């Protein structure tokens, strides 16, 4: 049996700051090592998203104008995106995409825009300041260190039913105050890590790949396949 994963690249034509499409390329790279096919579709403005059609979602960051346009359109996809997340399917959202999964975010002009409330974090705005630079965190569940690059004016605070992706060792993270970076709910990960996160952190990419495979092929034992996947990271 040839296994496959179908990825929805959410607003990939508008939300791709710092090459966040690299997350899909990383999935394809690691999947190829075990003979798994990864295909992707851009799901953009005025296009339907159906949770049952996809095994993985990638949602990148964007500039202020594009993010405002997407924030309006994504409300039409809200129900199906929440269905996807609550089905425990893997979802990686970066920067602006991360903010839009929460309750709300305040944009650069001070306008409060609604998220889709799939997660319970919210994002306020700094005044005349941005968090920019390399960032390193440690995941307290598995002990792995993840490396990335952050560039965001928003400051995000976590809510109930979500925990951080990691503890900040270098950089600012979610808000520069509580030492957290990212948010995790079920198999959905929100993060400020460009880089992109899955090209720089092979163990994270491998973990998310096998979460997708386990969801789609629940009767398959992937123990030996995991040993075959060589990870690269720095």
pLDDT in tens, 144-153: 999 999 999 9
Higher-confidence position of 104 and 18? 104
Q: How far is CA 215 from the centre of its chain?
A: 17
Does residue 82 lie within any of the structural domains? Answer: yes
Within 10 Å of residue 205's Cβ, how many Cβ atoms? Answer: 26
The answer to whether the CB of 31 falls within 8 A of the CB of 226 is no
Across 39-57, average pLDDT = 98
Query: Looking at the chain, how many residues does it have?
Result: 234
Tokens of 192: 């400020």
Tokens of 56: 């993985």
The band of 108, judged by pLDDT with boundaries at 50, 70 and 90, is confident
Across 71-81, average pLDDT = 97
Maximum separation of any 2 CA atoms in the chain, in Å = 55
The answer to whether the CB of 194 falls within 8 A of the CB of 134 is no
pLDDT the model gives residue 60: 95
Across 43-58, average pLDDT = 98
Q: Active site residue: 9, 121, 185, 194, which one?
A: 194
Does residue 96 lie within any of the structural domains? Answer: yes
Query: Whole-number mean pLDDT of the chain?
Result: 95
- Annotation says 95 is catalytic: yes
Does residue 234 lie within any of the structural domains? Answer: no
pLDDT the model gives residue 52: 98
Does residue 217 lie within any of the structural domains? Answer: yes
pLDDT the model gives residue 234: 65
- Annotation says 185 is catalytic: no
Does residue 233 lie within any of the structural domains? Answer: no
pLDDT the model gives residue 19: 86
Does residue 53 lie within any of the structural domains? Answer: yes
Residue range(s) defining the domain that contains residue 19: 4-228
Task: Give the span between the Cα atoms of 63 and 35, in whole angstroms.
Answer: 36
User: What CATH number does residue 177 fall under?
Assistant: 3.40.50.880
Torsion of CA 37, 42, 43, 46, to 10 degrees: -150
Q: Active site residue: 9, 95, 147, 152, which one?
A: 95
Task: Give the span between the Cα atoms of 19 and 60, in whole angstroms.
Answer: 8
Tokens of 176: 């520069």
Task: Give the span between the Cα atoms of 27 and 155, in whole angstroms.
Answer: 29
Does residue 85 lie within any of the structural domains? Answer: yes
pTM, 2 dp: 0.96
Tally of domains within the chain = 1
The band of 77, judged by pLDDT with boundaries at 50, 70 and 90, is very high
1 pLDDT more than 80? no
The reply to whether 130 sits in an annotated binding site is: yes
233 pLDDT more than 80? no
Across 121-130, average pLDDT = 94
Q: What are phi and psi of 192, to 5 degrees?
A: -95, 5
């Amino acid at each position: 049996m040839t296994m496959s994963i179908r990825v929805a690249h959410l607003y990939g034509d508008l939300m791709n700051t710092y090459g966040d499409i690299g997350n899909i390329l990383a999935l394809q790279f690691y999947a190829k090592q075990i003979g798994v096919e990864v295909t992707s579709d851009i799901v953009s403005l005025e296009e339907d998203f159906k949770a049952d059609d996809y095994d993985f979602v990638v949602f990148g960051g964007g500039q202020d104008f594009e993010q405002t346009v997407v924030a309006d359109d994504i409300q039409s996809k809200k129900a199906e995106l929440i269905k996807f997340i609550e089905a425990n399917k893997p979802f990686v959202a970066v920067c602006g995409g991360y903010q839009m999964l929460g309750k709300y975010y305040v944009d650069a002009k001070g306008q409060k825009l609604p998220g889709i409330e799939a997660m319970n974090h919210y994002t306020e705005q700094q005044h005349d300041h941005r968090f920019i630079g390399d960032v390193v965190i440690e995941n307290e569940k598995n002990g792995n260190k993840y490396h990335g690059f952050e560039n965001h004016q928003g400051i995000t605070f976590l809510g109930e039913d979500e925990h951080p992706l990691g503890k900040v060792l270098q950089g600012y993270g979610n808000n520069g105050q509580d030492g957290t970076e990212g948010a995790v709910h079920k198999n959905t990960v929100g993060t400020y890590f460009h880089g992109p996160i899955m090209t720089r952190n092979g163990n994270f990419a491998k973990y998310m790949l096998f979460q997708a495979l386990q969801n789609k092929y629940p009767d398959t034992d992937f123990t030996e396949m995991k040993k075959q996947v060589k990870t690269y990271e720095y």
